[in-house]
Amino acid sequence: MDNTPVTDFLAHLPLTRPVLNDRERVFLAVLQGRVSSRSEATKRLSIRSSTVSEYVAELLDKGLLTEQISARSGRGRPLRSLGVHANRLVTIVFQVISQSVHAFMVNLSAEIVGHAKAEAPPDSDNQSLSAIFLQLYQAVLIKRPSGAELAGIVFSPGGVIDRNTHRWIHASRWPKMHNLDIQRLFSSEKYPISLSRTLDNELRIHLLLQPQSTLLLHWGYGVGFAFGQSSDRIVEGGSAFGEIGHWRVTDEGTSCHCGQSGCLETVTALWAIGPRLLGEDFHAGDDEEHIASMLKESDFTDNDLINQAIEHMSTAVSNVCRVFFPDRLVVSGPFVQNPQIWQAFCERFEQKNRFFGHEIRSVSVSQISRDLGIYGAALPVLEQGLAALLTD
């Protein structure tokens, strides 16, 4: 991981909520590079100069802005330029990559300013994973830049989570882990703790870049979806959401992690079909990006396993489309990186999804990088932290 800010747009804290007040407008204008002095703020934001000065003084006082003498113009007053203290607020995002747990510290400019990781063997249980989380937390906390306030801690571990009870229910990489109470783990900390689905974080970025009703499907180790209309309108459901991987698709199916049998995942997910598809090249803990590169190069012509999976996936997604009627379908995960699979999936989906002559407007493969997903997790917490600083 490097510290390179993601894209210009995303590095400028695109809010998923409305702007709070003029104080925040001034701060965001400086962060976004639209304003670099008090007089520019007055002009560009149409706020009276005395009010701008008042806000700037407050933002300097709160440590969000900096102001430096940049030059002296003739005999006039020195020119002062405004800058942002991007490290004033940070958040910690826990994420699982391959067989490792990572803790990222992200600042207001979407930069990763701290990172720690630890390997968690496949036989790790609640106790050993808890120890790893606490160790990583301490390791990343000491990387906090001076003057930085921690706005909160986000767990985005993949698998099945229960947002209401703050429990990590299941992860196929660690079958011995079950119902891990994340909130209790950090009960001695004063920072807000939240659990967020990896897919929702990825969807948030898609919706910030293009606000239209979007169904994001993940087809990888697990199968699930997220849906939203705009970055502040992501459907949450009840304790969990979008777990179509555990829809029953056959009565005679093999048993699934969830305790049922015949689930969609048993005939489509990487954990179920990966070993038969990739043989010895398949390792259960492998990163999806690594699996994607293997799948990309493979020839699946007349492969019954893949054809069956495509059939099931296209049916399942068409059914979900009958519930949400999205304008756009985006698919992420390693399978759709293979051009043959992608083309076959699109053809089958197109046939099944036509509804009274209507078709979905756009179908594409997700291009959101892992770094952007991490930022998608951090964003709501950074926004809340900023709101708290600006409404004190």
Q: Using CB under 5 A as the criterion, which residues of the chain lie in contact with Zn ion when the complex forms?
A: 246, 256, 258, 260, 263
83 strand-pairing partners: 66
The CA distance from 239 to 49, in Å, is: 49
> With contact defined as beta carbons under 8 Å apart, do 108 and 84 qualify?
yes
Residue closer to Zn ion (CB basis): 105 or 263: 263
Which of 134, 125, 204, 199 has its CA nearest to residue 168? 125
CA distance 109 to 301: 45
Q: How far is the CB of 217 from Zn ion (least distance, A)?
A: 17
Pick 12 or 246: Cβ nearer Zn ion: 246
Phi, psi torsion values for 284, nearest 5 degrees: -55, -30
Q: How far is the CB of 223 from Zn ion (least distance, A)?
A: 10
Minimum CB distance to Zn ion, residue 149 (Å)? 41
Name the residue nearer to Zn ion (CB basis): 82 or 249. Answer: 249
Q: How far apart are CA 56 and CA 43, in angstroms?
A: 15
**How many of the other CB atoms lie within 10 Å of CB of 251?**
7
Provide Rg for the chain, Cα atoms: 23
Q: Cβ(217)–Cβ(336) under 8 Å?
A: no
136 vs 256, beta carbon nearer Zn ion: 256
Residue 84 identity: V
CB 256 to Zn ion: min, Å:
3
Q: What is 256-274 written as a DSSP string? A: -TTS-BSBTHHHHSHHHHH
Q: What are 299's two structure tokens?
A: 């020839």
Smallest distance, Zn ion to C-beta of residue 255, A: 8
In angstroms, how far is CA 267 from the centroid of its own chain? 26
Q: Considering the complex, state which of residue 263 and residue 292 has its C-beta at the smaller distance from Zn ion.
A: 263
Q: In the bound complex, what is the minimum distance in angstroms from residue 221's beta carbon to Zn ion?
A: 13
CB closer to Zn ion, 12 vs 257: 257
In whole angstroms, the minimum distance from the beta carbon of 245 to Zn ion comes to 6
Q: Which is nearer to Zn ion, 98 or 268 (CB)?
A: 268
Helical H runs in 78-186?
Answer: 126-141, 182-185
